[in-house]
Amino acid sequence: MTRSPVFPYPFLSSLSAGNWRHLAACAGADGEIFFSDDQAASSGAQRLCDACPVVRECGAYAEEAPERFGVWGGMTARQRGWNPAGVRNRGRRGEAA
């Protein structure tokens, strides 16, 4: 028998891993804005995340995966502690090393 993962957010505890994605504000959006080098596109992606009901789950996924590029959970890769080469900075979530 397989066990369901434990979710850090009780209000979504009934969802299985990854099922939160269909509730995301970005579902059906142009994915290119989330992986663009253009600051305006990244800002647009982050604004979409501002209204997202599963932004915390998305951010938690990005940390666990780990997603080294793109906007996840309302944060850019740099804000999550990744440099442009996809290498984790010593400090996490944009902290100075």
Residue ranges of domains in the chain: 30-81
pLDDT score for 17:
61
pLDDT band of 91, cuts 50, 70, 90: low
**CA distances for 17 relative to 12, 20, 23, angstroms:** 10, 7, 13
Helix (H, G, I), strand (E, B) or coil at 82: strand
**Structure confidence by residue, pLDDT tens digits, 32-86:** 999 998 888 889 999 999 999 999 999 999 999 899 999 999 999 999 999 988 9
Is residue 2 scored above 60 in pLDDT?
no
